[in-house]
Amino acid sequence: MRVLRRYSCLMLMLVCVIILAPCAAAQPRMLLILWHGLAWENVEASPFYTEANMAVAAMNTRFGGGNQISAAYLTIASGSRAFGVENAALMLHTDELLNGLPAGDVYTMRTGRNVFTQEIVNPQIALIINAAAQASYPLPVGALSECLSQSGFTVGVFGNSDLNDQRVRWAGLVGMDSEGKVAEGVVSSELLITDAAYPHGKRTDYQLLFAQIVNAAVDLAIVDLGDPFRLNDMAPYLLPGQYQELKERIAAEAWDLIVSLHQALPETEVLIAAPHPDPFRASQGQWLAPLLLIGREAGLLTSGTTKWPGLVSNIDVAPTILKAFGLDKGSMLGRAVFVKPMEVGDAVSYIKQSEERIFQVHRYRNQVLRWLIGIQIVLYLITLVLLVIPRVLDGRLVRTVQLGLLVCMALPLMLLVLPQGWLWPAVLAVGLFLLDRYVSHILVKIMVIALATAALVAVDILRGSWWMKFSVLGYDPVGGARYYGLGNEYMGILIGSLIMGWAILKDFMKAQTKYALGDLLLFLGFTIVIAAPQWGTNVGGTIAAICGFGAAWQLTHRRLSWLGVILTVVLIGSALAVLMLLDSGRPADLQSHIGQTKSLINREGLAAVKDIIVRKLSTNLRLLRYSIWSRVLIMGIAAMGASLFWPSRYLQWLMQYHINIVIGIAGTLAGTVGALIFNDSGVVAAATCSLYAATTMLAVALSLKHNLLPPQSYIEQDANYH
C-alpha cells in the first residue's frame, strides 16, 4: 500500500507538471528590442544582414493621436492605434522617488491599488486610460502584457532612455499591463554609465543589461536600448557630421548586444522594432520604419493587415508576439506577421525601392489633388456661365470647354496607369485627342472614357491593385487607412463610370427588356469584384454598388417602387452576411476588414456596431468640414441642379429623348448617397462617383444650349429647349 501511495503521488506530480507546463519559464522565449529611429543604413550594417539571417519589412508607425512618441510605443503594446500623453513612459521601481515620495506609494494613492516590492509601476496610468477612452474602436491598455500574464507567461522589461531631467522607460510602457504595472525587470538608472562623449552625458551599460536579460526568468523580454532615443532627442543640437558619427557608433554597440543575446539564447526569436522613425523621416511625415525578425527564415515580412509583402503595421507587433506563444490576439486590430522567403539583400533593396515610390506619391499627393480639384471646380463654374448666357456662343469656345470637361473625366484613368510610366498616360492623352477630333457626338466621347475607366479599374483590382497602390488617387500606405483592395477614391470612380458608360450605351442601343439578364450579370460581376475578400474588399463600396446598380437596373427594366427598395435593402443585408461568412471562414491572417468586423461583433455585440457607426459618422463630418473633396461634391451637386434650369426645360428634354441618360444619372446619385453614408471617408467616394453624372449633364447641356448636337442623328432637337 505504501508503494502504491508513493506511485500515485509521483503520477499526480507528473500530471501537475504536464498541466502546468505552459506556465513554466522553460517555454520558448522571445525578445522584443525597441530601437528608436532605426534606419535602413543601420540594418545594412548589421551582422545579421551580412549573414543573410533575418526577415525585414517597412513598418507603418502611425498612431491614434496625442503625444506622438508615447502614442507610437503604446500602439506597440495595444495592437491598436493608441493615443499618447506627456511623460507616459514614467515607469518606476516602487522604491524610486517621485516628488520626494516612493513611487509605489504615489501609485497606490493615485489608483487605490496595492503593489509588490519587485514591481515596476506607472503613476501616469490614469492619464493613459483616459486618453484611450476617446477611441471609437477597441483600444485595450496593456493588451500585450495582459494576454501573456493571463495565460501564465511572464513579461520582463529591461533598459531605459532616461534623459538628464526626465525618466523615460519605453520598455516598461510597452510591457505594462492594464493597471500600469510590470512584474519583472530592471529599468532604473543603475543600467546607465556616465559618459560625456554620448548624448545627455550617459550611455547604456550593455554588459549589465545583457546579464539582466539572460538571467531573467521571463518568457518575453522587452528591451529598451536607450542610446538611440537619447541621440535622436539631442539631434537638433548636433552638427550633421557629429550626428552621423554618433549614430554609427551607437548602432554598432547595439548590434554587438543583439548578437550576444542571440548567441546566448539561440532558440529565442528576436523581434527588432523601430516604434518611431528617425528625426529626418518624422519631420518629412515619412511614417515608415524598419521591423526585423531574427530566428526564422530570411525574407520579406507581411501580414493580413497590409497584404503587402515588405510592408506591415505597428499594430501587428503585439499579435505577432502572442502568436509566437500560441495565444489569440483577442480584440487587437493588428494581425501576426509571416515571412515570404527571399534573400535579405534583395528584400531590403525591394523595400527601399517601394518606400521611395510610396514617399514620392505621399509627398505630391495633396498638392496634385488640390490642383486637379481646383481645375475641375473652375471648369464647372465656366460651364455654368456659358449655360446662363442668354445667347448662343461660338462653337469653338464651347467645344474647348467641353474638351476640358472630358479631360477632367479622363484624369482618374490617366492617374491609374501613371505608376507604369509616362508612356501609358501619353498614349491615353493621344487617344483622347483623336477621340475628340474624329468623334463629333459628346455622348460617344463620354461613353468611351467612362467604360474604359471602369474596365481598367476592374482589371487592376483583379491583378492585385498594384496600379492603385502607387496612384495619387489610390490609398496612402503612409497614412495607414488602407493597404490593399479597392480604395474609396477609385471605388466611387468605378461605380460612377460604369453606370454612366452603361447608360449611354443603352441609349444608343435603344434596347431595354431584351437585355435585362445581361445588365444584371454585368452589375453582379462588378459588385463581386468590389466585394470579394480576395479582390476589392470594400464593404461600403459593396453597399454603394448595390444601391447604384440596383436603382439603375430597376429604372431601366422595371419601375422603381417600395418593393424594389425593400428588395435592395434585403440584398444589401444578404451580401453583408455572405461576405462575413466567407471571410470569417478564411485563416485569420488572410481575413479582410469584413471578417475582422464579424469577429469584433461576436466579441463586443451591439457595442461594436455602435462604435463602427460613430466612427463612420465622425469621419464623414470631419471630411465635410475640412476635406477638399467636400467642395467637389457640393460643386458637382450644385452644377447638376443649375443645369436643370439652363437651358430651360433641360430635364424634360432629357427624359423625352434620352431617358437612359436620366436613369444613369439617377443610378449614379443613388450610388453617391450609398457611398456617402456607408463609408468611413464617404465624402471622397461620393465626390468621385458624382463626377461622371455631373460632367455628363454639363457637357450635354452645353451642346444643347449652343446648337452643337449633330443634325440628322438619332437625337431630335427642339429649338424651344435652347
pLDDT of residue 713: 41
Level-2 CATH architecture, domain 25-342: 3-Layer(aba) Sandwich (3.40)
Distances (CA, A) of 80 to 62, 76, 132, 182, 597: 10, 8, 10, 20, 14
Would strands 97-98 and 101-102 be described as parallel, antiparallel, or unpaired?
A: antiparallel
Collapsed DSSP state (helix, strand, coil) of residue 55: strand
pLDDT of residue 331: 86
Would strands 55-60 and 181-182 be described as parallel, antiparallel, or unpaired?
A: unpaired
Tens-place pLDDT, residues 354-363 = 999 999 999 9
Q: For residue 205, give the DSSP letter.
A: -
Question: CA 112 to CA 91: how far, in whole Å?
Answer: 17
Tens-place pLDDT, residues 283-314 = 898 999 999 999 999 999 999 999 999 999 99
pLDDT of residue 19: 38
> Residue 211: is its pLDDT beyond 80?
yes
Task: Provide the pLDDT confidence category of residue 584 given band limits of 50, 70 and 90.
Answer: low
Q: Do residues 542 and 531 lie in contact, with contact meaning Cβ atoms separated by under 8 Å?
A: yes
Cis peptide before 647 (omega within 30 of 0): yes
Residue at 705: amino acid letter: K
> Residue 13: is its pLDDT beyond 70?
no
What pTM did the predictor assign? Answer: 0.86
pLDDT of residue 470: 92
> Residue 717: is its pLDDT beyond 70?
no
Q: For residue 201, give the DSSP letter.
A: G
Tens-place pLDDT, residues 536-566 = 788 889 999 999 999 999 888 876 667 777 8
Tens-place pLDDT, residues 34-65 = 999 999 999 999 999 988 889 999 999 999 99
Q: Which residue has the higher pLDDT, 467 or 638?
A: 467
Q: Which residues, in sequence order, are CB contacts of 602 under 8 Å at separation 6+?
A: none
> Residue 12: is its pLDDT beyond 50?
no
Element (H, E) at 302: strand 299-303
CB 91: neighbour CB atoms within 10 A?
31
Q: For residue 660, give the DSSP letter.
A: H
Find the DSSP H helices in 101-142: 103-111, 125-132
pLDDT of residue 321: 97
**457-494 per-residue burial string, b: 16 or more CB within 10 A, e: under 16:** bbebbeeebebbbbbbbbbbbbebebbbbbbbbbbbbb
* Sign of the Cα pseudo-torsion (704, 707, 711, 717, in order): positive
Using DSSP, how many helices (H) and how many strands (E) does the chain show? 28, 19
pLDDT of residue 613: 67
In terms of Cα–Cα distance, which of 120, 131, 50 is closest to 84? Answer: 131
423-438 vs 442-462: helix crossing angle, rounded to 10: 160
> Residue 587: is its pLDDT beyond 80?
no
Question: CA 65 to CA 499: how far, in whole Å?
Answer: 39
Domain spans of the chain? 25-342, 355-721
Question: CA 38 to CA 35: how far, in whole Å?
Answer: 6
pLDDT of residue 720: 41
Residue that the C-alpha cell 472630358 belongs to: 406
Question: CA 478 to CA 480: how far, in whole Å?
Answer: 5
Tens-place pLDDT, residues 672-703 = 999 988 887 788 899 999 999 999 999 998 88
Q: Which residue has the higher pLDDT, 238 or 440?
A: 238
* Sign of the Cα pseudo-torsion (501, 507, 508, 509, in order): positive
Question: CA 439 to CA 441: how far, in whole Å?
Answer: 6
Phi, psi of 269 (to 5 degrees): -80, 140
pLDDT of residue 7: 40
Least confident of 325-334, 403-412, 672-681: 672-681
pLDDT of residue 652: 83
Question: CA 669 to CA 651: how far, in whole Å?
Answer: 15
Average pLDDT of the chain, as a whole number: 87
Tens-place pLDDT, residues 616-675 = 667 767 766 767 788 888 888 888 877 776 666 788 888 888 899 999 999 999 999 999
pLDDT of residue 596: 64
